[in-house]
């Protein structure tokens, strides 16, 4: 009986399969041809599937009345859905475009915060080419560019309530772990080149652990441990399943849908009433890179290169003060339309640096030192070959807080009073030293093996279990095989 019905059902099945495409095609043509004029409307789910981005959809609208032979190759490729540069991230997001949270954020960005999202697009267009080329070069989806958009809106010096900084919004320890230089003189989280390289490294690590870009993006927001705990608790790597099971914080629950919404709006910006306005594009070829010695002032570089100080600061936003750095060589970007630094000028900077560096390291006058911004008791103890405990006792300090302009007595390490120090001073010195070392120590990434415990890891690296918990934001001592534990090696 079934064999007799098959010839009758086959044409019906073919018609049913072709019907959605025909409906989509006619709807799309009616949307883009109204009395000979073009009008924009938000793309449907069918539009998203058929066309990878807004430029392809726009190309189709222009060639809607032309014959097949006159259509651009980009249009023909879009109709066959063979865009090889789209990336798995965009394709996999199409399944969630009708998710209530994604629709909520699309409406939020296109209606309530339309003007704000337009500013995001305009600022991001300056960096888009560079960031996407770096992502593509390292084998990452180029749509991760929109991660920076929802993090900071492409504001270089953006700072969150949790003290995350830069367009990629790195926390201090995470940024330092991925190679960023961060101190009171320079903060490379605000440098687009250095922070993009760090973000690529971090995202690669996250995706390597979770084998899921949605979980990697969620971890970028809330941290590896929190997402890993949710995955282990519910035994699933499906982010949207974790949403339904309510095991993630509300901010993280909204973070991935927000990213998907920004990505779809960015790809189809014309249909949501947006425009891209950017007269300039960031490119490394537009700058000359010079390695500048310590104690060199930006004003001196501006004078030697005939470049405005304002422009020099805008291209080197990671330099937080007028001096590039008191003790380290720093790369400085100078626009190509400014004069290049000659060999004689660079030698002049080197000579000035040696004199200033020597004076900087000899600031002890008659056993006293005036505190500068960025100093700490630990850094001063190292500079003058003494101990934090000696500085606390000599200056009668009951806390580790010091301030710029304060005058401190500098005493030697072998002091009799140090041996008679009270327990309160000893504990305070230990806490201060540990805190400062945590900022300046070398971070080791340890992958947990089967059978290991926090106690064994702490013993291996000669640290305490309490310190491991504090570094990794762990409330309990439970860890899992494959989990990444950060260890600060002092």
Of these residues, 134, 151, 300, 304, which one is catalytic?
Answer: 151
Known catalytic membership, residue 151: yes
Largest CA distance in the chain: 108
Are 237 and 231 spatial neighbours (Cβ–Cβ below 8 Å)? yes
E strands, 195-329, are: 287-292
Strand 330-335 and strand 368-370: pairing? unpaired
| Number of C-beta neighbours around residue 191 at 10 A | 24
Tokens linked to 216: 């990697």
| Number of C-beta neighbours around residue 378 at 10 A | 21
Region of 139 (left: φ > 0; alpha: ψ -120 to 50; beta: rest) is left
User: Cα–Cα distance between 236 and 240 in angstroms, integer?
Assistant: 10
Q: Which residues are paired to 159 by β-bridges? A: 165
- Map residue 145 onto helix, strand or coil: helix
Tokens linked to 306: 């005939």
303 backbone dihedrals φ, ψ, rounded to 5°: -65, -40
Q: Which residues are paired to 290 by β-bridges? A: 332
Strand 484-489 and strand 442-447: pairing? antiparallel
User: Cα–Cα distance between 417 and 386 in angstroms, integer?
Assistant: 13
Tokens linked to 490: 């002092």
Helix axis angle for 145-152 and 250-267, nearest 10°, is: 120
Cα dist from 146 to 4, 20, 175, 275, whole Å: 55, 31, 19, 16
Question: Nearest to residue 488, comparing CAs of 207, 242, 172, 198?
Answer: 172
68 backbone dihedrals φ, ψ, rounded to 5°: -60, -40
Active-site residue set: 151
């Amino acid at each position: 009986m079934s064999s007799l019905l098959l010839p009758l059902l086959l044409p019906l099945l073919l018609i049913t399969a072709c019907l959605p495409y025909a409906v989509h095609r006619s709807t799309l043509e009616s949307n883009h041809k109204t009395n000979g004029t073009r009008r924009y409307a938000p793309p449907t789910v069918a539009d998203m599937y058929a066309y990878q981005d807004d430029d392809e959809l726009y190309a189709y609208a222009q060639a809607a009345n032309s014959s097949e032979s006159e259509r651009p190759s980009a249009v023909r490729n879009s109709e066959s859905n063979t865009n090889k540069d789209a990336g798995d991230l965009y394709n996999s997001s199409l399944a969630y475009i009708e998710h209530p949270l994604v629709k909520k954020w699309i409406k939020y960005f296109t209606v309530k915060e339309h003007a704000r999202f337009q500013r995001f697009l305009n600022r991001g267009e300056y960096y888009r080419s560079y960031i996407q080329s770096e992502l593509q070069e390292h084998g990452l989806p180029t749509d991760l560019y929109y991660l920076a958009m929802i993090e900071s809106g492409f504001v270089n010096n953006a700072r969150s309530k949790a003290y995350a900084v830069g367009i990629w919004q790195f926390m201090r320890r995470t940024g330092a772990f991925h190679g960023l230089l961060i101190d009171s003189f320079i903060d490379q989280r605000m440098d687009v080149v250095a922070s993009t390289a760090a973000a690529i490294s971090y995202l690669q690590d996250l995706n390597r652990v979770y084998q899921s870009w949605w979980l990697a993006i969620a971890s970028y927001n809330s941290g590896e441990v929190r997402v890993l705990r949710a995955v282990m608790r519910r035994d699933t790597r499906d982010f949207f399943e974790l949403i339904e099971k309510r095991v993630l914080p509300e901010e993280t629950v909204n973070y991935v849908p927000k990213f998907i919404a920004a990505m779809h709006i960015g790809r189809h910006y014309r249909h949501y009433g947006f425009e891209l306005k950017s007269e300039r594009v960031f490119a490394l070829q537009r700058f000359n890179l010079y390695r500048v010695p310590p104690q060199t002032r930006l004003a001196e570089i501006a004078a030697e290169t005939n470049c405005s100080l304002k422009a020099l600061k805008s291209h080197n936003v990671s330099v937080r003060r007028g001096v590039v750095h008191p003790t380290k060589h720093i790369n400085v970007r100078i626009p190509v339309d400014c004069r290049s630094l000659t060999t004689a000028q660079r030698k002049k900077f080197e000579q000035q640096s040696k004199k200033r560096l020597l004076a900087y390291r000899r600031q002890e006058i008659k056993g006293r030192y005036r505190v500068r911004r960025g100093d700490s008791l630990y850094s001063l103890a190292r500079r003058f070959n003494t101990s934090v405990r000696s500085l606390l006792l000599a200056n009668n300090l009951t806390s580790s807080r010091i301030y710029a302009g304060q005058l401190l007595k500098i005493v030697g390490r072998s002091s009799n009073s140090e041996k008679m120090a009270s327990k309160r001073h000893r504990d305070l010195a230990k806490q201060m030293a540990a805190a400062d070392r945590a900022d300046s120590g070398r971070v080791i990434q340890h992958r947990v093996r089967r059978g290991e415990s926090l106690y064994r890891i702490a013993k291996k690296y000669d640290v305490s279990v309490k310190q491991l918990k504090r570094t990794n934001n762990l409330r309990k001592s439970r860890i899992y095989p494959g989990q990444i534990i950060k260890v600060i090696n002092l």
